[in-house]
Structure 1
Amino acid sequence: MPLNWRAAVSSGIVAGVVATGAQIFLWRVFTDALPHIFYRDARFTAAILLGQSVLPPPATFDWKVIIIATVIHFVISIVYSLILARVLSRIGTVFSLLAGSLYGLLIYTVNMYGATAFFPWFSEARDWITVVTHIVFGISLAGTYKVLSRTHFP
Structure 2
Amino acid sequence: MAVVTVALLAHYVLGIVFGLVLAAIMAAFMPDSNPGKASLAGAVFGAALYLLNFHGMTRFFPWFIEARGLEALFTHLVFGVTAALLYWKLQRRT
Normalising by the residue count of structure 2, what TM-score does the alignment of the two structures yield?
0.87
Q: Give the unaligned 5+ runs of structure 2.
A: none
1:82 is displaced (CA, Å) by 1.6
Once residues 2 and 90 of structure 2 are traced to their aligned partners in structure 1, the CA distance between those partners, rounded to angstroms, is 33
Q: Over aligned residues, Cα RMSD in angstroms? A: 1.4
Q: CA offset at residue 87 of structure 1? A: 2.0
Name 1:132's counterpart in structure 2.
Answer: 74
Instruction: Give the CA deviation at 1:100.
Output: 0.2
- Show structure 1 runs of 5+ residues with no match: 1-62
CA–CA distance in structure 2, aligned partners of residues 75 and 114 of structure 1 = 20
In structure 2, give the amino acid aligned to 1:75.
V
* SS across alignment from 2:72: helix
How many correspondences in the alignment?
89
Matches of 1:137 and 1:97 in 2, distance apart? Answer: 11
1:150 aligned counterpart, secondary structure: coil
| Correspondence for 1:122 among 31, 48, 64 | 64
Deviations 1:20-45 (A, max 9, x none): xxxxxxxxxxxxxxxxxxxxxxxxxx
Q: Which amino acid aligns with 1:99?
A: A
Residue 126 (structure 1) shift: 0.3
Structure 2 Cα separation of the partners of residues 78 and 88 of structure 1: 15
SS in 2 for 1:130: helix
Query: Offset of 1:95 from its aligned partner?
Result: 1.1
1:84 partner letter? L
Counterpart selection for 2:19 from 59, 81, 88? 81
- Distance in 2, Cα, partners of 1:118 & 1:101: 25
Between the two proteins, what is the percent identity of the paired residues?
A: 38
Displacement after TM superposition at 1:148 (Å): 2.0
Which has the greater radius of gyration?
A: 1
Deviation at 1:150, TM superposition (A): 3.2
For 2:3 and 2:86, the matched residues in 1 are separated by 28
What does 1:41-56 correspond to in 2, within 5 Å? none
TM-score by length of 1: 0.54
